[in-house]
Amino acid sequence: MSQHRPGGLSELPEATVARLPEYLRALHGLAEAGHDTVSSEGLATAAGVNSAKLRKDLSHLGSYGTRGVGYDVALLIEQIEYVLGLTQHRAVALVGVGNLGHALAGYAGFATRGFRIAALFDADPAQIGEVISGLTVHHIRELPRIAAEESISIGVIATPAGAAQAVADQLVAVGVTGILNFAPCVLSVPEGVDVRKVDLAIELQILSFHEHRKAAAGSAGPTASLTALPGGMAGNGASGGNQEAVGS
């Protein structure tokens, strides 16, 4: 047969990488439910995607499905965990144990899904020394020492936006090359460092757009255009001129 040579990790399409964790979660669920094998259709449903897409995704890993049967659940879990680099539980540093940081520090999903919170950091003297879920909060200035001891590879930033860039710089300085940023700001990092951002407000605003769109479609008919645009005169009088986009 083709043998296909899985190529390199670099050849995995980014969109596929983003879905593998979802497949993994679904597979763990299936394994707990006692399934030994699963069809692409079954797994696709559990993961909320199209089955053809799922098959194509899995084929990129060199895929060990069996025609007429499906995929071996345990084997597939192992494959995906390997590809994602989860076989070693990576050490994660969490910086900023405020409102959100406390919740994250106590989150069980860290450990159960391939990670280990290795250390907590903050800059506020009042927080230093506090123990959260068995972990002591260290001053951020201890980051270099602890990063070396624990071989931190991923950093999570849960500080206010104003401090995020400075924290990112410090993380990069101690060798962290993957950052998950909860602060609502753009981080600038050297090439080779990956940043992913989670912003609650952005998610809500995207939902809001769809609410708005649905409402407009309902009230103004299927051809609804940008009705009642704020026009141009509000902020400043300049550039006025031509905003007759109203009503239609």
Ligand X SMILES: NC(=O)c1ccc[n+]([C@@H]2O[C@H](COP(=O)([O-])OP(=O)(O)OC[C@H]3O[C@@H](n4cnc5c(N)ncnc54)[C@H](O)[C@@H]3O)[C@@H](O)[C@H]2O)c1
99 binds ligand X (CB under 6 A): yes
Q: Answer whether 98's CB lies under 8 Å from 79's CB.
A: no
Q: State both tokens at 43.
A: 């797994």
Residue with smaller CB distance to ligand X, 79 or 127: 127
Q: Which is nearer to ligand X, 42 or 184 (CB)?
A: 184
Contact 157, 174 (CB under 8 A): no
Which residue lies nearer to ligand X by CB, 61 or 140?
A: 140
Shortest approach of a second copy to residue 202 CB, angstroms? Answer: 4
List Cβ<8 Å contacts ≥24 apart for 135-144.
135/105, 137/97, 140/95, 140/167, 140/170, 143/93, 143/95, 143/170, 143/171, 143/174, 144/173, 144/174
Binding-site partner at residue 122 among a second copy, DNA, ligand X, none, CB < 5 to 8 Å by type: ligand X
Of residues 12, 31, 100, 224, which one binds ligand X by CB under 6 A? Answer: 100
- The CB-of-72 to DNA minimum distance in angstroms stands at 10
Q: What does residue 34 show for φ and ψ, rounded to 5 degrees?
A: 95, 10
Residue 152 Cβ vs a second copy, minimum distance, rounded to whole Å? 11
What residue ranges in 52-200 does DSSP mark as E strands? 71-72, 90-95, 115-122, 131-132, 135-139, 154-157, 178-181, 194-197
DSSP 36: S
From 145, 185, 147, select the one nearest 163 (Cα to Cα).
185
Q: Mask of contacts with ligand X, 72-91, x by CB under 6 A? A: --------------------
In whole angstroms, the minimum distance from the beta carbon of 210 to DNA comes to 13
x/- map, 173-212, ligand X, by CB under 6 A: ---------xxx---------------x------------
Q: Are strands 135-139 and 154-157 parallel, antiparallel or unpaired?
A: unpaired
**Phi, psi (5° rounding) for residue 241?**
80, -65
Instruction: Out of 85, 98, 144, 218, point to the residue binding ligand X (CB under 6 A).
Output: 98
Q: Among residues 38, 76, 97, 117, which is the contact residue for ligand X, using CB under 6 A?
A: 97
CB nearer a second copy, residue 83 or residue 167? 83
Between 97 and 179, CB nearer to ligand X: 97
167 binds ligand X (CB under 6 A): yes
Which listed residue (158, 168, 176, 179) binds ligand X by CB under 6 A? Answer: 158
Residues 106, 108, 109, 111, CA torsion sign: positive
